Amino acid sequence: MIVRTLRAIEEMTDGRGLAESFYDVLIKGVSTDTRTIQPGNLYIPLKGANFNGHAFVADAFAKGASAALWAENEANPPENVPLIFVDDTLQALQQLAHRYRKQLPTKVVGITGSNGKTTTKDIVYALLATTYKVQKTEGNLNNHIGVPLTLLRLEENTEMAVVEMGMSNFGEIELLSKIAEPDAAIITNIGESHMQELGSRDGIARAKLEIISGLQRDGVFIYYGDEPLLQTRVRQMECPFRTITFGQEASNDYYPLTISLEANGTSFTVNQAPEYRLFLPILGRHHVYNALAAISVARTFGVSWEAIQESLAELQITRMRMEIVQAKNGATIINDAYNASPTSMKAALELLFELTGYEKKIAVLGDMLELGEQEVEFHKQIGEMLQPEKVDYVFTYGRLAEQIALTAQDSFPKGRIKAYDDKKVLAKDLCAIVTADDVILFKASRGMKLEEIIHDLQA
């Protein structure tokens, strides 16, 4: 984490007003939340629509903060404590993170995309950790506050940082990229998330491509080469950096020669090193492409194929992303309920369709959120891909997911596809049909909290 004197912090934030007697006070780490503040932290009070962190500055000092920032236009600053005055505390946080990043020898890998950001982050971290001292984004700290906090948590001797970058509108990824100045940038794919704000998939592609705004001139840009929207835009750019593509097609720099779904994961081979059989302890063809993006980074920074092979086999990913767990009665549960878009839901269902060795295959699907004016149509498209010869039962939860059931119901025998607005009733009906030899896929946007149904199956 950042360790600097207050005099240095004042300079890095373009602050002022720090009493000379506090110049040599040392801060260790940064916090924007007094509930988790640690002794020695610099407290940065942020201001939102319904809160003002300046009201908690006294509490921060009481909990051991060494110092705090204070916005110049806020009244009644506390006296006789180490305060640095700035124009805007959020901008000061971002500038502090940017300048700290530039003081470190750390190489930064930035990752964005409509789907697969977190899984790709976890894989990149695992592969690089075989060779380097690495840190990565913790939890969902991937926005205009989280990315600066991630950078400020870097140790001085960290060699590689893997930074996830999220967004909901234009300009947000550009800001994050310019703060982090990545040495490598990845776009996992272009889906339909945030269609409401960005208007179209082309708008989403433009927003994701903002990640190259801060990319080092001698850096590398890695992107999903099967996406025409990216291919077209990249061809139109004058890129001073190197580009690498990954995807299914043989026109990509990295593509799979073989993919095989197994009981506990997915094995595959890659054109760049066909002699290595690689295994991911995650189900799903789409995760192979996340792995290819990560492999591209790892090879760029000199990680051996032997290390890649060993690391992938031992991979641990963030929960609720194709997580395989067991129901109380022994049924197999695929928990992919962390988030959902049309692209990721189709991929999850295609995985379920391909699975063999189970008596019944059951899909529990919830609403996909933030899809804008086409939200109903996107849910109907999911319903159109459901067929009774590929999945035995489909239970939906939520107003939008009901469109999936209504679209598909005529294709299924009576009682095999149902829509619910009560999780407890859904869980009860599910428990009545599930046996130890079945597999159940759970998929929905995070706001639907489908894991609550999984908890009932495990109770």
135-163 pLDDT per residue, tens: 999 988 899 999 999 999 999 999 999 99
Residue 384 burial by Cβ neighbours in a 10 Å radius (0-12, 13-18, 19+): exposed
Contact 72, 86 (CB under 8 A): yes
| Rounded Cα gap, residues 412 and 179, in angstroms | 52
| Structural contact between residues 131 and 303, judged by C-beta atoms closer than 8 angstroms | yes
Closest to 363 in 3D by CA, of 335, 339, 326: 335
Q: Specify whether 111 is located in the same domain as 249.
A: yes
Domain membership flag for residue 191: yes
Q: What is the pLDDT of residues 86-122, one digit of tens each?
A: 999 999 999 999 999 999 999 999 999 988 888 999 9
* 304 and 446, same domain (yes or no): no
Per-residue CA distances from 346 to 130, 156, 260, 340, 383 (Å): 33, 42, 18, 10, 10
Percent of the chain predicted with pLDDT > 70: 98
- In this structure, are 408 and 371 located in the same domain? yes
The answer to whether position 95 is within a domain reads no
Question: Does residue 195 carry a pLDDT above 60?
Answer: no
Q: What is the pLDDT of residue 324?
A: 84
**pLDDT tens digits along 166-179:** 988 899 999 999 99
pLDDT band at 370 (very low <50, low <70, confident <90, very high): confident
Task: Indicate if the pLDDT at residue 277 is higher than 60.
Answer: yes
Q: Which residues pair with 42 in a beta bridge?
A: 30, 67
pTM of the model: 0.81
pLDDT mean over 268-293: 94
Among 267, 283, 313, the domain boundary falls at 313
Q: Is the pLDDT of residue 320 over 70?
A: no
Out of 131-135, 140-144, 346-350, the most confident range is 131-135
Question: What value does the mean pLDDT take over residues 418-427?
Answer: 95
* Averaged pLDDT, 289-318: 95
CATH of the domain at 123: 3.40.1190.10
Whether 343 has a pLDDT exceeding 70, the answer reads: yes
Residues 307 and 158 in one domain: yes
Q: What is the pLDDT of residue 194?
A: 59
Q: What integer is the mean pLDDT of 278-292?
A: 92
Residues ≥6 apart with Cβ < 8 Å to 216? 181, 182, 183, 241
Residues of the domain holding 67: 3-89
CA 178 vs CA 165, 172, 190: distances in Å: 12, 10, 21
Q: What band does 372 get if pLDDT is binned at 50, 70 and 90?
A: confident
User: Does 395 map to a domain?
Assistant: yes
Cα–Cα distance between 53 and 90 in angstroms, integer?
11
What would the pLDDT profile of 27-55 be if each residue is shown by its tens digit? 999 999 999 999 999 999 999 888 899 99
Count of alpha carbons within 13 Å of 388, Cβ hemisphere only? Answer: 10
Please state, rounded to an integer, the average pLDDT across all residues of the chain. 93
Same structural domain for residues 160 and 276?
Answer: yes
Report the pLDDT averaged over residues 402-413: 95
CA distances (Å), origin 141, targets 147, 213, 294, 296, 312? 6, 20, 20, 24, 24
Please check whether residue 74 is in contact with residue 147, taking contact to mean a CB–CB distance below 8 angstroms.
Answer: no
Residue 310: both structure tokens together: 């060993």
Same domain, 300 and 381: no
pLDDT for 73 equals 93
Alpha-carbon distance of 282 to 455, in angstroms, equals 21
Task: Report the range out of 66-70, 203-207, 328-332 with the highest average pLDDT.
Answer: 66-70
Q: 125 in a domain, yes or no?
A: yes
> How far is Cα 28 from Cα 37, in angstroms, rounded to an integer?
11
CATH number for 35: 3.40.1390.10
- Of 24, 57, 89, the domain-final residue: 89
From CA 251, how far away is CA 369, in angstroms rounded? Answer: 34
- Answer for the pair 348, 191: CB distance below 8 angstroms, yes or no: no
pLDDT at residue 429, rounded to an integer: 95
Residues 241 and 376 in one domain: no
* Alpha-carbon separation of residue 195 from 198, 365, 379, 380, 383 (angstroms): 5, 20, 14, 16, 20
Give the chain's domain count.
Answer: 3
pLDDT score for 193: 65
- 127 plus 246 within the same structural domain: yes
Q: What pLDDT score was predicted for residue 378? A: 94
The residue ranking higher by pLDDT, 325 or 378, is: 378
pLDDT at residue 252, as a whole number: 97
pLDDT value at 198 more than 60:
yes
20 burial level (CB within 10 Å; 0-12, 13-18, 19+): exposed
Does 361 fall in a domain? yes
Q: Which of 60, 89, 118 is the last residue of a domain?
A: 89
Sheet containing strand 256-262, strands side by side: 256-262, 265-270, 278-280
**Structure-block tokens of residue 318:** 């963030």
Over residues 287-312, the mean pLDDT reads 97
